[in-house]
A and B are shown apart, each in its own frame.
Chain A
Amino acid sequence: MSRPALRAVETMPQPSAAAPAPSAEVVTLTPPRSAPRLALLKPKLISTASVVLPPLLTLALILLVWEILCSGAGATLPSPSQVWRDSSDLILDPFFVAGSQDIGLGWRVLTSLQRVAIGFGLAALVGIAVGTLVGQSTWAMRGLDPIFQVLRTVPPLAWLPISLAAFRDANPSAIFVIFITAIWPILINTSVGIRNIPQDYRNVAAVLRLNQIEFFWKIMLPSAAPYIFTGLRIGVGLAWLAIVAAEMLTGGVGIGFFIWDAWNSSKLSDIIVALVYIGFIGFVLDRLIAGLATIVTRGTAAN
């Protein structure tokens, strides 16, 4: 532990030095009313703008270059304005229903998300459980780790034919592909997290004579939580990558099949809209897990 020296024991939090003393009023005879509020608002506006503006500008620039590149006569891909003309219905209303196969992208994304939720949920459960076992037991690690290291390099789609053969149905196969893709980072990170539980915490548990179950809930899980969440975050990203690919092959409803279908009917603009959806949802999934991690592991990382 490296603590800076000279810390008083009973120091209460100092009153914030930031609170400004009201001194300027004495000099100014007619202080403009709005001045303090504006002064307060200004830095906020600037900081918001400095976060929001750069990506917006970059986006505008990309759209502009894209427009210029694809507006010629021989362009193979649609320009942004073309995409808007072709697919504004998809962009404007994600949740329309105009027939059994003619539905908004929102519905398709939800179907895909449902598969991801089941496959990823199972992967999280099994991954954390097996990861704990592997992290705790030297023998389990020696036996299982080499096998996991080989299996995790198998590309997700390579599992699809086997799972189609085993489940004889598209939906469980897609879910299995999600599961087998997402499980490895979760499992491996969990086992590393468990192996890295500081000896101090183990000593505390030993002095208190915690039994196995108490040790699991009170020491292991909270201590390994940052690692587990890293695994979950990588896992959900991979799951989202895999579901799109798997759905392209299995068909049915889903954002992946939508892309495949659009390709077969040469609706390039629809594909581009779908790509934006996929990217956006992937981003949201990642943020969700990251947000959950900060809530659950508050305090754990900062020691």
Chain B
Amino acid sequence: MKQAPYLQIDGVEKTFTRGDTSNHVLADIHVGIDKGEFVSIIGHSGCGKSTLLNIIAGLTPATSGGVLLDNKEVNEPGPDRAVVFQNHSLLPWLTVYENVRMAVDKVFRATKSRAERHDWTMHKLDLVHMAHARDRRPAEISGGMKQRVGIARALAMEPKILLLDEPFGALDALTRAHLQDSVMQIHATLKNTMIMITHDVDEAVLLSDRIIMMTNGPAATIGEILEVSLPRPRKRLELVTNTTYIKAREAVLKFLYERHAFVEAA
């Protein structure tokens, strides 16, 4: 028998209820994710991707079903499931360094000395190439830099699993490409388990081992899971002509725009 996956999502359902109106967002989500795997979730806007990620993070409770990480049930948020939020969520009154340091101080207060925590913080900032801007405040750095700091903060918690909610959604194509390369590099070096939400088909195929494609809401569920069996390290320029890449891309596009085309509410 195959051993249980590292992260197991088991029959997760979510219904938002307010007063007597209820909104069935997620239905019957089953999936297992292995240690060190990079998985993308793709689907049309509003289908419930963020909701699913928040359930894994423990920020939103599932209506029924459950999530197991490393054989432990997830029922509250914690630093073992670090989140890179859709809109960076850096604290604007702290500098870049302080934003990361705050997380380091909280997670490693008991296990690392002051000097070790400083080194750890600087190391994570180096990893995302942001050490040079350590004393600037979020308002003084670009959108791409903010996301880098957000990633550094999440990595600094040394999470079992890294959750990224459209981390590059608000960025231009050039910056996006830079950051995708950074994330691939980090994944190769640290071998983290990562789940990333994206709207971008190329991004999903380039980065992922598997792509989870979600159907449209209400009651969205997993429509299909696509394996991307491209060898790593992947180089974006070489992939342009790669048949596996082109096929994977086509499969995702067909899923999104043919079989589950987004129906605009009139």
Contact = CB atoms under 8 A, between A and B. Distances in A.
Given A1-B87, A200-B87, A204-B89, A9 B142 contact: yes
A8 B174 contact: yes
A138 interface: no
Nearest to A13: B140
A207 B81 contact: yes
Contacts of A204: 85, 89, 91
B139 A7 contact: no
Nearest to A221: B93
Given A1-B88, A6-B174, A207 B78 contact: yes
A150 interface: no
Nearest to A208: B106
B172 interface: yes
B144 A203 contact: no
Contacts of B85: 200, 203-204
A1 B77 contact: no
A225 B171 CA distance: 30
B102 interface: yes
B77 A209 contact: yes
Interface string B58-101: 11000000000000000011110111010111011100000000
B91 A9 contact: no
Contact of B179 (A8, A9, A208, A219): A9
B178 A9 contact: yes
A73 interface: no
B102 A206 contact: no
A253 B91 CA distance: 48
B29 interface: no
Given A200-B87, A206-B59, A208-B103, A6 B81 contact: no
A218 B106 CA distance: 12
26 contacts: A1-B170, A2-B170, A3-B143, A3-B171, A5-B171, A7-B172, A8-B174, A9-B142, A9-B148, A9-B175, A9-B179, A200-B87, A203-B89, A204-B85, A206-B58, A206-B76, A207-B77, A208-B103, A208-B107, A209-B78, A218-B102, A298-B93, A299-B138, A300-B92, A302-B139, A303-B138
Given A299-B93, A303-B92, 19 more contacts: A1-B87, A1-B143, A2-B170, A7-B172, A9-B145, A200-B85, A204-B85, A204-B91, A206-B77, A207-B79, A207-B81, A207-B83, A222-B93, A223-B91, A297-B93, A299-B137, A299-B138, A300-B92, A300-B93
